[in-house]
Amino acid sequence: MQDDNLEKVKNLLILENDMYATLRKMVSRELEAILLHEDMEELLSILGEKQEVISRLQLLADSWLDALPLLGIDEPRGTSGFWDKLSEVFSKEHAAELSNILSKTRAAAEDLMEAEKSVQAELEKHVKQLREKLLGFKHGRSAVIGYAKMGGGQLDVE
């Protein structure tokens, strides 16, 4: 039973780490879309993909809520002393293993947050240009929809 719980906790941490790594790659793609390509469509596509990963992170947080009572922990993750209580559930060796994975996960989360700050700074530098492009897409889409409504052919405007 203890081994099953250890594996559940390890898997939750590893999955979280993997999601942070995935988001980090997406942030790099955002920077490329902004700086190299100035491609608003690509940026919006990446943001949609990121939202899917963020939604999966929320589901992962829910999985923690399900796992903690099985470990005899009634405090939510992120509260003061949570990791100490979790470490007490396992042997010192297993607690050290979890601590190592946790350190990697925290580092991945911190790297992600720093990268997000960089993207935010670049977006702020390019906000006027991006706004103009977005409005151009919106006006172009409106024109296509209007044209289609007036009988201008069968156009797919999804």
What integer pLDDT is reported at residue 113 of this predicted model? Answer: 94
What integer pLDDT is reported at residue 149 of this predicted model? Answer: 59
Name the residue type at position 63: S
Distance CA 44, CA 63 (A): 29
How many other C-beta atoms can be found within 10 angstroms of the C-beta atom of residue 19?
A: 19
Distance CA 147, CA 150 (A): 5
Helix residue ranges, H only, the chain: 2-31, 40-70, 82-89, 92-149
Provide the token pair at 132. Answer: 């103009």
In the DSSP assignment, the letter for residue 36 is I
Domain of residue 77: give its range.
Answer: 2-126
- For residue 28, being part of any structural domain is answered with yes
- For residue 72, being part of any structural domain is answered with yes
What integer pLDDT is reported at residue 75 of this predicted model? Answer: 79
What integer pLDDT is reported at residue 152 of this predicted model? Answer: 47
- For residue 42, being part of any structural domain is answered with yes
- For residue 102, being part of any structural domain is answered with yes
Contact 82, 76 (CB under 8 A): yes
- In this structure, what CATH number is given to the domain that contains residue 116? 1.20.58
- Rounded to 5°, the CA angle 108-25-135 comes to 125
- For residue 43, being part of any structural domain is answered with yes
- For residue 156, being part of any structural domain is answered with no
What integer pLDDT is reported at residue 48 of this predicted model? Answer: 92
Contact 34, 119 (CB under 8 A): yes
Per-residue pLDDT of the chain (158 residues; tens, 9 = 90+): 567 888 999 999 999 999 999 999 999 999 998 888 878 788 889 999 999 999 999 999 889 888 888 888 887 787 777 888 888 888 999 999 999 998 999 999 999 999 999 988 888 877 777 677 767 766 666 655 655 555 544 444 44
- For residue 80, being part of any structural domain is answered with yes
- For residue 73, being part of any structural domain is answered with yes
Contact 155, 144 (CB under 8 A): yes
Q: Tell me how many domains the chain contains.
A: 1
What integer pLDDT is reported at residue 141 of this predicted model? Answer: 64
CB within 8 A of 108, min separation 6: which ones? 17, 20, 21, 24
What integer pLDDT is reported at residue 140 of this predicted model? Answer: 63
